[in-house]
């Protein structure tokens, strides 16, 4: 999978290191396949995937006679098993996700794309379906979940075209998706969560009410946590464009305290709502953070 050279957000050496991990659902999910996840159903269904040429020993019931009539060659229908898990990656592409402090570093959006690409690779490798939703003040992309290598390539190409957009409206997006994603599965959120916290938590709770499992990767820039500025500066909101002039040495201590309170409050509320909360920043290598999270998740199963 993902063999084409040049994909920006997938690194072979990283997926090789992550290859020993599985992202396994903690709760019952809908579907069936290889036994990684618990399912409420018995039996399974299949959907058509593609063709391959017939070879002796193939089941004759799988021959595609329409394809034979068109080509005068025998082809066998191949099917994609309905997977144990349908996962949807919700990627925040609002303007604030385009921030980076260090010129040579990653923006929060780039960091999230690397993380999302690795997660998609891992889940498709274990035969689970992955979809992608990008959003700012509205939903911009909605790619339904599938589990084929060609679908992974489609996701990787999509990541490469993503740019920071407009203002954030996390809560409305979550409520709409909770009503429209019918089959319970896994919801993975990648966002800086710069929105009204009570409304964001209502949106996450809506997913839980619909029996989805939810993981939130809270992605910030290290500078947003530590406020390393050292002289009188104009600070501009990347979404509202509001401008505030401040001297960092007078406000740093209070600022750092408020940001930590912001993070801790999300961590507490997510815990209370049975939502996995993963706090990270763009200075932490995403593969190390993800490996540590997956290892911890496996220990807690």
What is the tens place of the pLDDT at every residue in 256-297? 999 999 999 999 999 999 999 999 999 999 999 999 999 998
The full 3-state SS of 23-34, as one line of letters, equals CCCCCCCCCCCC
What is the tens place of the pLDDT at every residue in 258-269? 999 999 999 999
pLDDT at 43 over 70: no
pLDDT at 28 over 70: no
In which residue are the tokens 């040579």 written?
104
Report d(CA 39, CA 86) in Å as an integer.
12
Question: How many C-beta atoms surround the C-beta of residue 194 within 10 A?
Answer: 23
pLDDT value of position 81: 47
Report d(CA 33, CA 45) in Å as an integer.
9
Report d(CA 215, CA 210) in Å as an integer.
15
- What is the overall mean pLDDT for the chain? 86
Residue partners of 220: CB distance under 8 A and separation at least 6: 108, 192, 263, 280, 281, 282
pLDDT at 1 over 50: no
Q: Predicted confidence band at 60 (pLDDT cuts at 50, 70, 90)?
A: confident
pLDDT value of position 41: 42
Percent pLDDT > 90 in the chain is 58
Q: Predicted confidence band at 69 (pLDDT cuts at 50, 70, 90)?
A: confident
Structural domains of the chain sorted by starting position, each given as residue range(s) with its CATH number in brackets: 12-28+83-299 (3.40.50.410), 46-81 (no CATH)
pLDDT value of position 4: 47
CB 287 within 8 A of CB 18: yes
Average pLDDT over residues 138-161: 94
**pTM for this entry:** 0.81
Average pLDDT over residues 164-180: 91
What is the tens place of the pLDDT at every residue in 195-253? 999 999 999 999 999 999 999 999 999 999 999 998 898 888 888 788 988 888 899 99
């Amino acid at each position: 999978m993902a063999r084409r050279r040049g994909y920006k957000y997938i690194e072979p050496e990283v997926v090789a290191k992550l290859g020993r991990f599985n992202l396994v659902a903690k709760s019952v999910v809908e579907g069936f396949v290889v036994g990684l996840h618990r399912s409420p159903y018995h039996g399974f269904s299949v959907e058509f995937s593609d063709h391959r040429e017939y070879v002796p020993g193939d089941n004759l019931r799988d021959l595609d006679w329409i394809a034979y009539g068109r080509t005068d060659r025998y082809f066998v229908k191949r099917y994609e098993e309905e997977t144990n898990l349908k996962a949807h990656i919700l990627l925040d592409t609002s303007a604030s996700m385009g921030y980076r402090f260090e010129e040579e570093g990653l923006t929060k959006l780039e960091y999230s794309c690397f993380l999302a690409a690795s997660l998609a690779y891992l889940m498709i490798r274990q035969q689970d379906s992955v979809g992608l939703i990008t959003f700012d003040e509205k939903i911009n992309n909605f790619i339904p979940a599938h589990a084929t290598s060609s679908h992974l390539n489609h996701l990787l190409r999509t990541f490469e075209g993503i740019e920071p957009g407009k203002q954030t409206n996390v809560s409305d997006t979550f409520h709409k998706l909770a009503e429209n994603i019918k089959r319970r599965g896994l919801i993975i959120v990648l966002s800086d969560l710069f929105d009204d916290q009570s409304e964001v938590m209502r949106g996450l709770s809506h997913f839980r009410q619909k029996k989805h499992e939810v993981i939130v990767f809270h992605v910030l820039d290290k500078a947003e946590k530590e406020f390393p500025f050292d002289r009188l500066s104009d600070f501009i909101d990347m979404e509202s464009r509001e401008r505030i002039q401040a001297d960092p040495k007078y406000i740093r201590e209070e600022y750092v305290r408020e940001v930590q309170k912001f993070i801790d409050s999300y961590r507490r509320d997510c815990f209370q709502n049975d939502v996995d909360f993963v706090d990270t920043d763009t200075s932490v290598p995403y593969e190390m953070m993800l490996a540590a999270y997956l290892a911890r998740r496996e220990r807690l199963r």
